[in-house]
């Protein structure tokens, strides 16, 4: 065989025989239009000069941050005159005269609120010369910093910026966040500020302190509408002290692809991880839920392609945990369903490393939900079975229970079926599976590129080969799929009729 197929086959064999090595990855930060920063102004001097329409609100913001605000305005508006009587923090002194450069001495923050552009330019230059941070109302080209929409649960403060592109959109986002953040959070954040010194004195290790604050956060979200007490502090300290210290491994199911299918427990594990070992099939956006300081390492296992050896993954996982790290082994779907979790659990047990498991939405569940298909139905399927499409060698397993596959009352889900799909279906039909049994393959289940090819046990392989679709695939076979396949066929007929 001297044609292109020979070279394609030879290349594939070389790739399969060349193992990959685990490699560290970095989820780079996307470009920022502005750098979000927070400026402490408590007991610092701030200056506002001018009296245009934005001046009163800016004065209130400065005072709310605890600043001592001096306002210079030759003809202040009635609204600006009334500000000193309205503030609840800081102080405001109104000077009914024009500003001078000397007025800016000692100012930490300065705002120009003039109508005249030349006057504002002069003020900005004088403020910068005095070392102040400068904002100019309605003149972004003169600003060192800009104000955004604010959600105030102080000391929890959320700032929102659209860089001036869509102020109304920013206000709508602010309103949505306002609705999501209970007002009681301000009490919990205030308690965190008061308790931080005591927690740091009790726990010298970073992982122990982080563990305390994880439990603190969970309690705040569970009971946001009450103020925490000293009893909460004592209880959280006791819980943290009772937990075993040192490294550990958590096997986490990332689900089939859609990041919104992550469980709350999976999110908590990602937030707590020092190192995340993840597979190729884990959707990149899921890693965004990890804390920024966590190391991420790709330990990819690609079907019929170059993969990291399982022994290398086990050794890396154990080594990191022995060094005191909290390790998350992040797997697509559910780690307990054809995810080699058993081998990794055994490696941890042999090394004396604590290992916990966070189940995930399986590929079968995600695909079925995305298709609107029930895998069990009292009139069509009373049993559900999961099988693998290949053995250790990548070939069709010899020990499949063909009688069970041919059972009319069962729905069969075949994982990793692409290479052996034709052989599997032909053998199943030969062993008694009715050729007209509904069957389908879902590619990239729950992801943006999800695609489905439907047919029967007799013709599905040909349909798949003609489709040229790529990505992780799942084969489903059984009478429970008949309604879905019939619905798809009806829609196909309607589309063809419209086209003609």
Residue 298, domain CATH: 3.40.1010.10
Domain count, the chain: 4
In a domain, 267, yes or no: yes
Does residue 235 share a domain with residue 349?
A: no
- Does the reported pTM lie above 0.85? no
As given in the structure block, the two tokens for residue 222 are: 């569970």
Q: What is the mean pLDDT of residues 397-405?
A: 91
Comparing 35 with 114, the larger pLDDT belongs to 114
The C-alpha atoms of residue 384 and residue 366 are separated, in whole angstroms, by: 15
- Domain termination site, one of 361, 381, 413: 361
In a domain, 5, yes or no: no
Please provide residue 203's backbone torsions phi and psi, each rounded to the nearest 5 degrees.
-120, 115
What is residue 479's predicted lDDT score, i.e. its pLDDT? Answer: 92
Which residues lie below 8 Å from residue 153, measured CB to CB, with a gap of 6+? 181, 183, 185, 186, 189
Comparing 8 with 339, the larger pLDDT belongs to 339
What is residue 195's predicted lDDT score, i.e. its pLDDT? Answer: 95
Burial class for 59, CB neighbours closer than 10 Å (0-12, 13-18, 19+): buried
What is residue 94's predicted lDDT score, i.e. its pLDDT? Answer: 96
Does residue 336 share a domain with residue 441?
A: no
What is residue 11's predicted lDDT score, i.e. its pLDDT? Answer: 38
pLDDT digits (tens, 9 = 90+) for 206-242: 778 888 988 898 899 899 999 999 999 999 999 888 8
Q: Judge whether 146 counts as a catalytic residue.
A: no
The C-alpha atoms of residue 367 and residue 361 are separated, in whole angstroms, by: 10
The catalytic residue among 44, 186, 301, 331 is 301
Does residue 482 share a domain with residue 381?
A: yes
Beta strands in 42-82 (DSSP E): 45-50, 68-72
Does residue 133 share a domain with residue 189?
A: no
pLDDT digits (tens, 9 = 90+) for 432-487: 999 999 999 999 999 989 999 999 999 999 999 998 888 889 999 999 998 888 77
Does residue 225 share a domain with residue 197?
A: yes
pLDDT level of residue 92 (50, 70, 90 thresholds): very high
Mean pLDDT is lowest, of 17-21, 85-89, 319-323, for 17-21
Give the relative orientation of helices 460-467 and 421-430 as an angle to the nearest 10 degrees: 170
In a domain, 162, yes or no: no
What is residue 272's predicted lDDT score, i.e. its pLDDT? Answer: 84
pLDDT level of residue 413 (50, 70, 90 thresholds): very high
- Domain termination site, one of 328, 361, 394: 361
What is residue 74's predicted lDDT score, i.e. its pLDDT? Answer: 93
pLDDT digits (tens, 9 = 90+) for 125-143: 999 999 999 999 888 899 9
Residue 32 Cα distances to 39, 151, 253, 496, angstroms: 19, 20, 31, 47
What is residue 489's predicted lDDT score, i.e. its pLDDT? Answer: 56
Domain region containing 221: 185-242
Q: Taking a C-beta distance cutoff of 8 angstroms, is the pair 148, 160 a contact?
A: yes
Mean pLDDT is lowest, of 10-14, 92-96, 110-114, 383-387, for 10-14
Does residue 484 share a domain with residue 372?
A: yes
Partners of 25 in beta bridges: 296
In a domain, 383, yes or no: yes
In a domain, 4, yes or no: no
Does residue 300 share a domain with residue 265?
A: yes
Q: Count the residues in the chain.
A: 500
What is residue 487's predicted lDDT score, i.e. its pLDDT? Answer: 75
In a domain, 1, yes or no: no
What is residue 18's predicted lDDT score, i.e. its pLDDT? Answer: 57
In a domain, 171, yes or no: no
What is residue 13's predicted lDDT score, i.e. its pLDDT? Answer: 46
pLDDT digits (tens, 9 = 90+) for 251-306: 999 999 999 999 989 988 998 888 999 988 898 889 888 887 788 999 876 555 56
What is residue 109's predicted lDDT score, i.e. its pLDDT? Answer: 97
pLDDT digits (tens, 9 = 90+) for 10-38: 434 434 445 777 877 765 567 888 888 88
Q: Judge whether 44 counts as a catalytic residue.
A: no
Q: What is the mean pLDDT of residues 380-403?
A: 88
Is the pLDDT at 243 greater than 80? The verdict is no
Max distance between CA atoms of the chain, in angstroms, equals: 97
What is residue 54's predicted lDDT score, i.e. its pLDDT? Answer: 86
Does residue 458 share a domain with residue 371?
A: yes
The catalytic residue among 70, 103, 232, 279 is 279
CATH of the domain at 73: 3.40.50.720
The C-alpha atoms of residue 178 and residue 169 are separated, in whole angstroms, by: 14
Please report the DSSP string for 145-196 in residue order. Answer: S---EEEEETTEEEEE--TTS-HHHHHHHHHHHHHHS-TTHHHHHHHHHHHH
As given in the structure block, the two tokens for residue 292 are: 């920024």
Does residue 199 share a domain with residue 294?
A: no
Q: What is the mean pLDDT of residues 393-417?
A: 91
């Amino acid at each position: 065989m001297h044609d292109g197929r020979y070279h394609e086959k030879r290349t594939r064999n070389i790739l399969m025989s060349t193992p990959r090595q685990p490699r560290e990855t970095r989820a780079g930060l996307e470009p920022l239009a502005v750098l979000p920063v927070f400026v402490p102004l408590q007991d610092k001097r701030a200056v506002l000069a001018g009296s245009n329409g934005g001046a009163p609100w800016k004065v209130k913001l400065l005072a709310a941050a605890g600043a001592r605000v001096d306002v210079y305005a030759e003809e202040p508006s009635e609204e600006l005159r009334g500000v000193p009587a309205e503030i609840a923090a800081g102080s405001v002194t109104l000077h009914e005269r024009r500003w001078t450069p000397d007025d800016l001495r000692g100012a930490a923050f300065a705002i120009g609120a003039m109508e005249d552009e030349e006057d504002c330019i002069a003020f900005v230059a004088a403020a910068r010369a005095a070392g102040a941070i400068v904002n100019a109302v309605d003149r972004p080209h003169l600003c060192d910093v800009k104000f955004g929409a604010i959600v105030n649960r102080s000391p929890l403060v959320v700032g929102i910026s659209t860089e001036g592109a869509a102020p109304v959109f920013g206000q709508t986002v602010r309103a949505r966040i306002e609705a999501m953040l209970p007002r009681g959070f301000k009490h919990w954040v205030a308690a965190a500020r008061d308790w931080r010194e005591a927690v740091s004195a009790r726990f010298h290790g970073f992982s122990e302190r982080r563990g305390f604050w994880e439990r603190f956060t969970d309690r705040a979200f569970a009971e946001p509408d009450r103020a925490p007490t000293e009893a909460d502090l004592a209880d959280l300290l006791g819980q943290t002290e009772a937990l075993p210290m040192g490294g550990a491994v958590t096997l986490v199911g990332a689900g089939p692809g859609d990041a919104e299918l992550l469980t709350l427990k999976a999110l908590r594990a990602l937030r707590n991880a020092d190192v995340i070992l993840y597979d190729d099939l884990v959707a990149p956006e899921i890693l965004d839920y990890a804390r920024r300081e966590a190391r991420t390492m790709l330990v990819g296992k690609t079907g019929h392609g170059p993969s990291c050896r399982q022994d290398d993954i086990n050794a890396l996982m154990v080594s990191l945990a022995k060094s005191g790290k909290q390790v998350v082994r992040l797997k697509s779907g559910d780690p307990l369903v054809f995810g080699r979790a058993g081998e990794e659990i055994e490696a941890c047990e042999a090394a004396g490393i604590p290992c916990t498991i966070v189940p995930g939405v399986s590929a079968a569940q995600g695909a079925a939900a995305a298709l609107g298909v029930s895998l069990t139905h009292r009139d069509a399927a009373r049993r559900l079975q999961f099988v693998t499409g290949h053995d250790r060698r990548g070939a069709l397993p010899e020990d499949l229970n063909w009688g069970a596959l041919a059972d009319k009352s069962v729905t069969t889900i075949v994982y990793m079926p692409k290479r052996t799909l034709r052989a599997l279906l032909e053998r199943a039909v030969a062993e008694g599976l009715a050729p007209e049994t509904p069957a389908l393959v879902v590619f990239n289940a729950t992801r943006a590129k999800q695609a489905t090819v439907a047919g029967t046990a007799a013709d599905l392989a040909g349909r798949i080969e003609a489709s040229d679709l790529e990505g992780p695939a799942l084969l489903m076979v059984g009478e429970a799929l008949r309604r879905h396949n019939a619905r798809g066929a009806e829609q196909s007929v309607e589309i063809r009729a419209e086209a003609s």
